Amino acid sequence: MGKYLPKAIVHSDEIDRLLAVEPGWTKKKSGVEKRHYAKSETASDMGAEAVKKALQNADTTLDEIDAIICTSGTMEQPIPCTASLIHKKLAPARPIPAFDINSTCLSFVTGFDLISHAVANGTYKKVVIVASEIASVGLNREQKESYVLFGDAAAACVVETADEETTGILAAKMETYSEGAHLTEIRGGGTKYHPNFHHNEQDFLFDMDGQKVFRMSSKVINPFVDELLQEADLSIKDLKAVVPHQASGMAMRLLQKKLGIPSSQFINVIENYGNTIAASIPLALCDAIESGKIQRGDHVMLLGTSAGLSLGGMIFVY
């Protein structure tokens, strides 16, 4: 795996001043100490750097890669797909396929699961999945609770079949509860509200009803995780690590408590990055691998919620 963090770092006390809230409010509300904002980088710049790092860490080169899959919740341009723009920065001379998979914050998990079937049956030998997110451009200062949560980052992962069957995906699951489709949204910028004809600036900014999202997902998360564990024939104690979507400090604390996961098993890096949308899970996974918290042979669960409203999870042996 590999990651890229934009050069500009924004500390929570700077955001306190920007939002004119009392000192400490941003940190307390979000659980975030600092986050990175892309001020000089594009999403494809960041994605390409994360891929390079992942290739290096996987001891491979782009010449061995059969496809570039971008799994971001945001896009650099409406056309073409972000994977093509990353492809251009990495491999302009090698016509390997490039396409996007999107389920907002769960895009990486959805993409990893989906592409694994094509890798398992030999269509692709080795692929790279990359999530590159610039959340900072679409934050809404009027909605302080969500403004303080987000950061920008990219994370990438090389996926191939294992030589021996010592590693692999044991279970994967996704559920979409679309009665919550409008609880987390950016309404404007697609075909519904085109920028040239729609001029309500609020509609082009991130809008979330965090309370309702939390209530909806709370009702279904326990059976979801139980089924995921059952599919893998494991229990929570068999997992070396649970890597949750780094949604917010509070959401993560509540999730941890609700599922009864000891802190030693729960990967929480939100303090350093904020919520980086679909980059959040692979970024936390990357850090846990780099720090040695996750080692070869360990059982790992990825778990998160996303706009949709969707739940997604995966259990694999690293």
Under a CB-based contact definition with an 8 Å cutoff, are residues 93 and 135 in contact? no
Q: Which of 2, 6, 31, 73 binds its own copies (CB under 8 A)?
A: 73
- Pick the closer one to its own copies by CB: 207 or 287: 207
Helix, strand or coil for residue 4?
Answer: strand
DSSP string, 112-160: HHHHHHHHHTTS-SEEEEEEEE--GGG--TT-HHHHTTB--EEEEEEEE
State the Cα angle at 216 between 213 and 217, rounded to 5°.
85
State the Cα angle at 303 between 216 and 51, rounded to 5°.
130
- Could you say which residues in the range 198-237 bind its own copies, by CB under 8 A? 201, 204-206, 220
The encoded tokens of residue 82 equal 């972000």
- In the complex, the smallest distance separating the C-beta of residue 314 from its own copies, rounded to whole angstroms, is 12
* Greatest Cα pair distance in the chain: 56
- Pick the closer one to its own copies by CB: 97 or 297: 97
- Could you say which residues in the range 84-113 bind its own copies, by CB under 8 A? 84-85, 87-88, 91-93, 95-104, 106-107, 110
- Pick the closer one to its own copies by CB: 201 or 290: 201
Q: Which of 179, 237, 257, 263 binds its own copies (CB under 8 A)?
A: 179
Show the DSSP H helices in 210-317 as ranges: 210-232, 249-259, 270-273, 280-290
- In the complex, the smallest distance separating the C-beta of residue 193 from its own copies, rounded to whole angstroms, is 8
- In the complex, the smallest distance separating the C-beta of residue 231 from its own copies, rounded to whole angstroms, is 11
Q: Which of 115, 130, 314, 315 binds its own copies (CB under 8 A)?
A: 115
Give the Cα separation of 90 and 86 in Å (integer).
Answer: 6
- Pick the closer one to its own copies by CB: 54 or 224: 224
- Could you say which residues in the range 118-177 bind its own copies, by CB under 8 A? 118, 120-121, 123, 134, 137-138, 172, 174-177
The encoded tokens of residue 225 equal 């995780």
Site string for its own copies, 28-67 (x = CB under 8 A): ----------x---xx------------------------
Instruction: Please give the C-alpha separations between residue 308 and each of 47, 179, 187, 200, 256, in angstroms, as whole numbers.
Output: 24, 8, 13, 23, 22
- Pick the closer one to its own copies by CB: 51 or 288: 51
305 binds its own copies (CB under 8 A): no
- Pick the closer one to its own copies by CB: 103 or 268: 103
